[in-house]
A and B are shown apart, each in its own frame.
Chain A
Amino acid sequence: MTTEQMSHVQALESEAIHIMREVAAECERPCLLFSGGKDSIVMLHLAIKAFAPAPVPFPIMHVDTGHNFEEVIEYRDRRVAETGVRLIVASVQDAIDQGKVVEETGPRASRNRLQTTALLEGIESNRFDAVFGGARRDEEKARAKERVFSFRDDFGQWDPKAQRPELWNLYNPRVKPGEHMRVFPISNWTELDIWHYIRDENIDIPMVYYAHKRQVFQRDGMWLGVTPFMTLMDDEVPEERLVRFRTIGDATCTGAVDSAATTIEQVIEEVGATRITERGATRADDRTAEAAMEDRKKEGYF
């Protein structure tokens, strides 16, 4: 690297590392949300780089719906063992068992919304004052307006109309007890930037991001995986297809796309050519309403 301008990925990396160090320096109890999805994988990678050769000075928290892709849980546990980072699991199943939330029923039942309760409980019981999330502004229109340091009140709620001004690289993480900050270091990255970074940094990702054969069925124009957590409706017929996942969330609402991309270069080529957003293509949770994401964010969602 020289005094020439940094490449855009280097500039984004530098910005993210700066943000992570600000939080570590100014907040007392930060944590990093880790789903095993590509964005949180990049976040953990950035955290390791930001503090090397010292260990990452905060734990990671997985909000576990219990409806997971096996490969992703294996990946999570492997990554935790490799990095020595401390893992906290906030379990939706526990919240259900304790009667804190009631599970939806029927074939379209999803634990997506119940995650918010588990997440907020995890934040409260661990007294986290700053929570790193891997949300990106290019993902969704409500996210396009969210600050990098996004204030949450005592109830974990986001108020889009009362956001703190955010200027230069001068972040204001100050909160009172009970309140917290959600911090989004990769706000300015696009889906393609994430893939370029994964390639350039040679980052290990779960195999479900590459094309593989899987039993799937079609619902609402998406390919959903056949899992023990899903009940098929009468007209839904499972079939084996060559697919990959563009996003990884709860297995019951994350759709796969037809794909033959088995290498990172092929994935990048495919992402570069696609004409549909990743959430539009693969997330049933964002399709419920025009402002579905905004409404969930106000309640405290990721």
Chain B
Amino acid sequence: MELLRLATAGSVDDGKSTLIGRLLYDSKSIFEDQLESIEATSEQRGSETVDLALLTDGLRAEREQGITIDVAYRYFATPKRKFIIADTPGHTQYTRNMVTGASTANLAIILIDARKGLLEQSRRHAFIASLLRIPHLVIAVNKMDLVDYDRDRFEEIRAEFTEFASKLDVADLTFIPMSALNGDNVVDRSMNMDWYEGSTLLHHLEQVHIASDRNLVDVRFPVQYVIRPQSAAHPDYRGYAGQVAGGVMKPGDEVQVLPSGFTSTITSIDTATGPIDEASAGMSVTIRLADEIDISRGDMICRPNNAPEVSQDIDAMICWMADQGELRAGQKLAIKHTTRWARAMVKDVQYRLDINSLSRDEESRSIGLNEIARITMRTTQPLFADAYTRNRTTGSFILVDEATNVTVAAGMVLDR
């Protein structure tokens, strides 16, 4: 059974909680005691229907204020796949939360209210999904029951969104007309929209092809931890532990190690239960090499003829996430890229991106909370980075405030 990570975007008003509630309920992932608990709370508040938003709003402040503060993770499974939902709130701290949820997602669902059509918010969601390179995007045109299941209305929204999406980089775009409240096209096919010939949402989630989303071409293995037991049973064992960030590795493959540039050959790919024939992106393994060369955490194992760029100068898009303080040229921050920490100085803020209009503000010199900007940086040590468009693992980084240790930005490396 495969694992699919999805992010949902939209506000409570779009019916997002209802949609998630229905997916969980119809896949029998809501338990009786959870349902009883939210029924009691809904009743206490004088609400006539069961408020499924209470399922995801877990914190006291959220329940009291009726808002969603943070990304909530939900789980459900069908016989075909297991799903992890990163449910991102639509109101406060929107960008920060959606970027967080989107960073690990294979698929995003963007909800659009059929009555309201494409709002600025929907454009923002789609932009962030494309910026974070979520491979699959589903536009859930919800509340079709409130527009009499009108095909023309659906087609109108589809046309408008498709035109907007042409400015973005979206690999796979799917539109589904639905009513989350009534269950049309969520799990079961709608009886009210026989003009729609596509999949239901759940069927799409179960079938969408995700196996080729991983980069299986460019071998990238950031060394995470060196395993040296130095025990009687394993006096000379020296293995490089890590999670494969790209490509396929096999014993016998010639590899190059950065930054030293030395080459060697993989003798064994180990797991706790024994050696394996090959390791591909996403797997945590331990690599052994034929030659004794100096390799430590933060080094990168790749192929001699296919290496990431080794550079101290980085061009990147960043999303600023600090509650306090702005990003400015000249600022020094800690940077974590793969398994390597360094310090970075912001050389230049090239432009701030207005995520509503997608226009560039080149006059802006400082970047505030939830804003997105293109910057250049100089790092104290070289990073072994690929463009984020080519590899989401070796193309991403975080920036950390050295005084507070707080993570203040998410970054995506650009092609130079």
Chain A: residues with CB nearer than 8 A to chain B?
1-15, 17-18, 21-22, 24-25, 48-55, 137-138, 140-145, 160-170, 172, 174-176, 187-188, 190, 192-193, 274-277, 280-281, 290-291, 294-295
Contacts and interface: CB of A to CB of B under 8 A. Distances in A.
B265 interface: no
Contact of B243 (A14, A25, A187, A190): A14
Contacts, number: 192
Contacts of B277: 1-2
B81 A8 contact: yes
A170 B408 CA distance: 13
24 contacts: A3-B248, A4-B211, A6-B3, A7-B3, A9-B1, A10-B283, A14-B284, A21-B241, A50-B272, A51-B225, A52-B272, A140-B58, A144-B56, A145-B59, A160-B70, A164-B406, A165-B99, A167-B100, A167-B407, A170-B337, A170-B396, A170-B398, A294-B58, A294-B60
Nearest to A275: B32
B41 A54 contact: no
Given A18-B243, A188-B75, 15 more contacts: A1-B277, A4-B211, A8-B82, A50-B272, A52-B272, A138-B74, A144-B58, A165-B100, A167-B396, A167-B398, A167-B410, A168-B393, A174-B334, A193-B82, A294-B59
A21 B225 contact: yes
B96 A277 contact: no
A281 B32 CA distance: 10
Contacts of B272: 48-50, 52
A58 B35 CA distance: 41
Contacts of A48: 272
A161 B69 contact: yes
Interface of B: 1-3, 28, 31-34, 37, 41, 55-61, 63, 69-75, 77, 81-82, 84, 96, 99-100, 103-104, 210-211, 216, 224-225, 227-229, 231, 233-234, 237, 241-243, 248, 270-273, 276-280, 282-284, 297, 321, 323, 334, 336-337, 339, 392-393, 396-398, 400, 405-407, 410
Given A11-B282, A294-B60, A169 B243 contact: yes
Nearest to A192: B77
Contact of B61 (A21, A52, A161, A190): A161
Nearest to B100: A165
Contacts of A143: 58
A175 B402 CA distance: 10
Contact of B321 (A50, A51, A165): A165
A161 B73 CA distance: 16
Nearest to B44: A290
Contacts of B398: 165, 167-168, 170, 172
A158 to B, nearest CB: 11
A18 B211 CA distance: 21
A3 B278 contact: yes
Contacts of A10: 283
A8 B1 contact: yes
Given A54-B227, A144-B73, A8 B3 contact: yes
Nearest to B58: A141
A42 B410 CA distance: 32
B300 to A, nearest CB: 15
A152 B334 CA distance: 21
Contact of B397 (A1, A6, A170): A170
Contact of B407 (A12, A166, A275): A166
B410 A188 contact: no
A168 B229 contact: no
A137 B227 contact: no
Contact of A172 (B96, B227, B242, B336): B336
